[in-house]
Structure 1
Amino acid sequence: MWMTDEILALCDIRRSLKERKKESEGGKQYRETNLKVKRSIKEATEKWIEDQCEDIENSLKHNNSNKAYKIVKELTDTKQARATTIESKEGKCLTQEKDILERWTEYCSELYTHVATGKDPNVLNVPPSSNNARHSILRGEIIEAVSSLKPGKSAGIDNITGERVKAGGEATIDMLLLICNKILQTGVWPKPWTLSLVITLPKKGNLKLRQNYRTIISLISHPSKVMLKVILNRLKPEAENIIVEEQAGFRPGRSTVEQICNIRILMEKYLQHQQELHHVFIDFKNAFGRVWHEALWSTMRKYNINSNFISVIENLYNAATSAVFYNNNIRDWFRTTVGVRQGCLFSPTLFNIFLERIMTDALEDRCGTVNIGGRPITNLRFADDTDGLAGNECELASLVEQLDKASSNFSMEISAEKTKIMTNSKESSKKEIRFNGQILESVAKYKYLGSIISDEGSLPEILSRIAQTIAALTKLKPIWYNKNIAISSKIRPLRSLVMSIFLYTCELWTLNADIERRIRAMEMRCYRRLLGISYKDHTTNEEGSRRIENAIGPHVDLLTIVRQRKLK
């Protein structure tokens, strides 16, 4: 916090002088000290805000969004709501902590403990992997894995944080090297490394309903992450040879912006040539939580992944046990028999491999009519966010049917309610696409990877970005209205916390006079809020710009930043 020992000492002096305030000399000293306290508080507050915003900028540059968000909460003094009641299965309101914990344990055990079976048992009939080379784990691999442990993360059941592992020095490295090689040789994991604590985090809405919580946050042992990181580093090269170019999720050098760019370029090319392009945005129900373990191991064998990796990972999953952690209490432990492990470092890679086989089976012998550079393409993916592509409506209906059949063979399920279709064409679509007895909803625009996909150009996306930016601006009212913070200090959180939201995917926008006008208006609205200028004040935009320039000096406006990013 911004409070310092010097300020506390001045406050003590002011308190003692307050008793002699009625005296002429004492009153003068009190006023001088009181002025010093106020001045010191203002300077300390400004410095603290500056330091916090600098930390936010550095965190965002290094993709440490968790730390950045934590600092934002400190700056805005916002606390997450926590419900003290929850509904039972029968709709009864539970208020006792014991009953609430029991209900959460019941719900999570039902979610992660059931027998997953696909419609086609033949998917398990895969011969053993011929790749069975075993190489001992090297000391350098352990050192690299330990150094990659992120600070500030909550500990698992063993109460050992990443900072403690790093502080152990050479002795810890030696012990971890011994344990990890033992796991590789025997396949047996230390019991604390197989345990995970499930945390329930509230979302929006009625917090009495369990569906308004995220129950996918799990705390696992930090020492176990060393072994997980070693396995991930060895597994990645094999996974990269398996996963096709259409998949961009959890892959080095690939991003959401790049995938959004691919979709928009494809749409523009088809509109330019007056050709139809049909999308089906597939939504898998609880995708990561429905992975069929036996099918995952058979998939890894099918792709000839190292048999030792398969054995070690399979043994970890067979021993995996979880418990709900609520208000520092734990009730019953339960086995997790379905889904990839939450919080596990290589879970995203395992999911990509699993989904790759589903898509391969679904699209086998299928030659789509959508082409990029003469190469047929049937889908674009970012993890489980799948955009199926087709050149006509019949092809789209066939694609949905094949994806559903392949998914059900691997115990995955497509949500008919959340799956949407969109036609990129001058003419509106007339054919209805049916799926499991339901007509899939046809939409004119769709939010994919945080960006609005539409054939109306960049305007819908920019309007969405403006709305999100204004919402973020409103959340930071405690900063804008704080008179102890100088205008120059407020600029940094405005840029790092507000403007950064607006600039997401701005590289892909097509600018015109109307869009440029909207960008300027949005920027000036932010500056007016920062300066405390109301529309009732009848202050011109020119006057607002002059005040900002007087406070921070010459600066690059938002529209220029957008243009610069487009040129990169």
Structure 2
Amino acid sequence: MVVCRMTLMVCKTKRSKREKKTKWWKLKKEECCEEFRQKLRQALGGQVVLPDDWETTAEVIRETGRKVLGVSSGRRKEDKETWWWNEEVQDSVQRKRLAKKKWDMDRTEENRQEYKELQCRVKRQVSKAKQKAYDELYTRLGTREGEKDLYRLARQRDRDGKDVQQVRVIKDRDGRVLTSEESVQRRWKEYFEELMNEENEREKRVEGVNSVEQKVDKIRKDEVRKALKRMKSGKAVGPDDILVEVWKCLGEAAVELLTSLFNRVLESERMPEEWRRSVLVPIFKNKGDVQSCSNYRGIKLMSHTMKLWERVVEARLRKVVEICEQQYGFMPRKSTTDAIFALRVLMEKYRDGQRELHCVFVDLEKAYDRVPREELWYCMRKSGVAEKYVRVVQDMYERSRTVVRCAVGQTEEFNVEVGLHQGSALSPFLFAIVMDQLSEEVRQESPWTMMFADDIVICSESREQVEENLERWRFALERRGMKVSRSKTEYMCVNERERSGTVRLQGEEVKKVQEFKYLESTVQSNGACGKEVKKRVQAGWNGWRKVWGVLCDRKISARIKGKVYRTVVRAAMLYGLETVSLRKRQESELEVAELKMLS
């Protein structure tokens, strides 16, 4: 027998660094909302006219929010479930602590008995408090107002079941693991600063374009009202710490305040400096090395008030600019389902006619982050956008700065000189304008050419023709600063009669595949849909795992569980299947999976 003595050091759990935040969520309560309105009106002198500078107004709103609603501590309570805590429990716990101290100082039987009685009383009160809090929670979850809390509870329980929720270490460009907070912050800044300020090679435009000099109308209240209605509540706040819920709480007074503010911005073509700052949050793509920065997608948290301004401008631009029919992304009355259906129908027709169809799925490298801003201004002018709006959009991108918020804190601020804002309300439409102009001379009518933002499909009846079209697309895009990815662009031949080679792009062979995931729907060259059904079943199980904490909770009603199941699990299982002709066997696979989930 071997005996040894070991000394182990228990490492203290590191808590994530969090900023102190105003408790804006209290605005859901009508009494808090009414008190906030009254205090803000008093702070503004009883008027509904904003001060001349936004900074003063924003500070008044923030200060009023802090006084009325309070500020969070900035510390996250980990491994302690105390949300059900009440004053009665707090008082009993305090008396128990005093009794324990008294017994420690004087070890008499009387003091011991007093401590034991208080200990039992605290346990009973804790049990009652938890039961009461859970009863109220489940009652609230069954109401329309509690729907968001339901999905938030599901996400929280999904996160609690994961071993790793945040990565505090990261690898440098040479693959070495960085452990100190300073080095991790420097690496995140280095990666995103390089990503957002690197421009691809391009030809400088020699030709000019006539600008549209015309008078634009003032911003109307109904435009602001529509933009405010389109903004969703419960979203992460930007660095200015003013949520859209603040404006919704103020109601019609907010519409007047914002209309006045936006008209000043439109007239001066200068938005507040505070709106130029943003916070970049790295989101893991759920594939690849979790310690590699390249496997993270950066999402910007911007000022909600600026997003309102962007939505007002976007609505006006959509009335002026007509985007080509080949663009399916972020267009009214179009969706991913339309693009998937058009491609499947085209492939099916060629299979029925025993003819070959050649498809190239073009991928652009970091499309949003690589858009040259000079090209954006040119494309806007060529699309007929008034010069006033061009200057307004230019101002949105001028002197933009951001910081990266990671698990170990925030990095230093850096400038962003290239690309479109990620997480912006206006960026998708601006990107559509750029793609519309750059592809004007090379695109064919739908479905021979289809675009969903930066996802491009080129189809043709011959391999030579699709290769020629691909080269024309490459030339049109790369001469203007967009780069076609050689590794991710793929080629597929439908109803191939003879084994032939693949297409080439600048002398390099494009990867030939028998299946391709187009807009998250798998298309196969032989027309089968078995793999797509299996992937839909897997997507359904992935969705089920995310909401298992709600679906397996016996205290939640069957009606609520059914709603969560339909909106999360079944929606994932059936995505895109309306474009597929399913066989009995494949329908059975879906039914069996659903029965297992519901059993």
Q: Specify the alignment match of 1:98 in structure 2.
A: 182
Q: Per-residue displacement from partner, 1:366-420 (whole Å, max 9, x unpaired)? A: xx6xxxxxx7753111111111111110011101111111111111111111111
- Pairing partner for 2:403 from 315, 318, 323: 323
- Pairing partner for 1:231 from 313, 316, 323: 313
Q: Is the 8 A contact 2:199 2:370 kept in 1?
A: no
Amino acid at match of 1:342: Q
Alpha carbons of structure 1 residues 161 and 434: separation in structure 2 relative to 1, 3 Å: same
1:525 maps onto 2:525 in alignment = no
Instruction: Name which of structure 1's ranges 426-435 and 393-402 shifts more when overlaid on structure 2.
Output: 426-435
How far off its partner does 1:202 sit? 2.8
Q: Specify the alignment match of 2:581 in structure 1.
A: 510
What secondary structure does 1:197 align onto? Answer: strand
How far off its partner does 1:430 sit? 0.5
Q: Per-residue displacement from partner, 1:173-207 (whole Å, max 9, x unpaired)? A: 44432332222222122101121111122333433
1:212 maps onto 2:291 in alignment = no
Q: Is the 8 A contact 1:196 1:221 kept in 2?
A: yes
Q: Is the 8 A contact 1:113 1:337 kept in 2?
A: yes
Q: Is the 8 A contact 1:50 1:492 kept in 2?
A: no
Q: Specify the alignment match of 1:195 in structure 2.
A: 277
What is the rounded CA distance, in whole Å, between the counterparts of 1:514 and 1:181 in structure 2?
61
What is the rounded CA distance, in whole Å, between the counterparts of 1:103 and 1:231 in structure 2?
36
How far off its partner does 1:90 sit? 3.6
1:495 maps onto 2:566 in alignment = yes
How far off its partner does 1:341 sit? 1.4
Count of residues paired in the alignment: 494
What is the rounded CA distance, in whole Å, between the counterparts of 1:56 and 1:262 in structure 2?
39
1:252 maps onto 2:336 in alignment = no
Alpha carbons of structure 1 residues 482 and 275: separation in structure 2 relative to 1, 3 Å: same
Q: Per-residue displacement from partner, 1:338-365 (whole Å, max 9, x unpaired)? A: 11112221110000010112211334xx
Amino acid at match of 2:522: I
How far off its partner does 1:7 sit? 13
Q: Specify the alignment match of 2:485 in structure 1.
A: 415
How far off its partner does 1:84 sit? 1.2
Q: Per-residue displacement from partner, 1:139-165 (whole Å, max 9, x unpaired)? A: 322233233332112222211111123
Alpha carbons of structure 1 residues 509 and 220: separation in structure 2 relative to 1, 3 Å: same
How far off its partner does 1:443 sit? 1.0
- Pairing partner for 1:425 from 477, 485, 495: 495
1:302 maps onto 2:364 in alignment = no
How far off its partner does 1:52 sit? 4.6
How far off its partner does 1:169 sit? 4.5
- Pairing partner for 2:367 from 279, 284, 287: 287
What is the rounded CA distance, in whole Å, between the counterparts of 1:136 and 1:69 in structure 2?
40
Q: Is the 8 A contact 1:390 1:396 kept in 2?
A: yes
What secondary structure does 2:493 align onto? Answer: strand
What secondary structure does 1:81 align onto? Answer: coil
Q: Specify the alignment match of 1:444 in structure 2.
A: 514
- Pairing partner for 1:111 from 195, 212, 220: 195
What secondary structure does 2:439 align onto? Answer: helix
Q: Specify the alignment match of 1:147 in structure 2.
A: 229
How far off its partner does 1:269 sit? 1.3
Amino acid at match of 2:405: F
Amino acid at match of 1:272: D
What is the rounded CA distance, in whole Å, between the counterparts of 2:408 and 2:249 in structure 1?
26
Q: Per-residue displacement from partner, 1:243-301 (whole Å, max 9, x unpaired)? A: 11111100111111111111111111111122221110110000111101101111111
Percentage of pairs with the same residue: 26
Structure 2: 5+ residue stretches without partners? 1-80, 97-119
- Pairing partner for 2:265 from 174, 183, 186: 183
1:4-43 residue pairs with structure 2 within 5 A? none
What is the rounded CA distance, in whole Å, between the counterparts of 2:146 and 2:553 in structure 1?
21
Amino acid at match of 1:527: L
Q: Is the 8 A contact 1:45 1:485 kept in 2?
A: no
1:398 maps onto 2:468 in alignment = yes
What is the rounded CA distance, in whole Å, between the counterparts of 1:166 and 1:419 in structure 2?
45
What is the rounded CA distance, in whole Å, between the counterparts of 1:328 and 1:309 in structure 2?
40
How far off its partner does 1:166 sit? 2.7
Q: Is the 8 A contact 1:117 1:292 kept in 2?
A: no
How far off its partner does 1:486 sit? 6.9
1:42-191 residue pairs with structure 2 within 5 A? 48=137, 52=141, 70-78=152-160, 81-118=165-202, 120-122=203-205, 125-169=207-251, 171-191=253-273
Q: Specify the alignment match of 1:435 in structure 2.
A: 505
TM-score normalized by the length of structure 1 = 0.77
What secondary structure does 2:441 align onto? Answer: helix
How far off its partner does 1:57 sit? 11
Q: Is the 8 A contact 2:281 2:405 kept in 1?
A: yes
Q: Is the 8 A contact 1:7 1:37 kept in 2?
A: no
1:353-368 residue pairs with structure 2 within 5 A? 353-363=433-443
What is the rounded CA distance, in whole Å, between the counterparts of 1:86 and 1:182 in structure 2?
45
Instruction: Name which of structure 1's ranges 451-460 and 225-234 shifts more when overlaid on structure 2.
Output: 451-460
What is the rounded CA distance, in whole Å, between the counterparts of 2:136 and 2:498 in structure 1?
57
Q: Specify the alignment match of 1:272 in structure 2.
A: 352
What is the rounded CA distance, in whole Å, between the counterparts of 1:57 and 1:522 in structure 2?
29
What is the rounded CA distance, in whole Å, between the counterparts of 2:369 and 2:519 in structure 1?
20
What is the rounded CA distance, in whole Å, between the counterparts of 1:47 and 1:510 in structure 2?
46
Amino acid at match of 1:510: S
Q: Is the 8 A contact 1:283 1:414 kept in 2?
A: yes
TM-score normalized by the length of structure 2 = 0.73
What is the rounded CA distance, in whole Å, between the counterparts of 1:40 and 1:157 in structure 2?
37
What secondary structure does 1:121 align onto? Answer: coil
Q: Specify the alignment match of 2:541 in structure 1.
A: 470
Q: Per-residue displacement from partner, 1:25-71 (whole Å, max 9, x unpaired)? A: xxxxx9xx98x999997897688568658769977xxxxxxx88644
Alpha carbons of structure 1 residues 271 and 325: separation in structure 2 relative to 1, 3 Å: same
Q: Specify the alignment match of 2:44 in structure 1.
A: none
Q: Per-residue displacement from partner, 1:79-110 (whole Å, max 9, x unpaired)? A: 66211111223433322222221221121111
Amino acid at match of 2:313: I
Q: Per-residue displacement from partner, 1:448-483 (whole Å, max 9, x unpaired)? A: 111111233332211211122233334555456556
Q: Is the 8 A contact 1:267 1:277 kept in 2?
A: yes
What secondary structure does 1:206 align onto? Answer: coil
1:341 maps onto 2:425 in alignment = no
Instruction: Name which of structure 1's ranges 488-497 and 302-311 shifts more when overlaid on structure 2.
Output: 488-497
What is the rounded CA distance, in whole Å, between the counterparts of 2:146 and 2:448 in structure 1?
39
Q: Is the 8 A contact 1:260 1:449 kept in 2?
A: yes
What secondary structure does 1:199 align onto? Answer: strand
Q: Specify the alignment match of 1:457 in structure 2.
A: 528
Q: Specify the alignment match of 1:557 in structure 2.
A: none
Alpha carbons of structure 1 residues 131 and 259: separation in structure 2 relative to 1, 3 Å: farther
Amino acid at match of 2:377: W
How far off its partner does 1:172 sit? 4.0
What is the rounded CA distance, in whole Å, between the counterparts of 1:7 and 1:324 in structure 2?
39
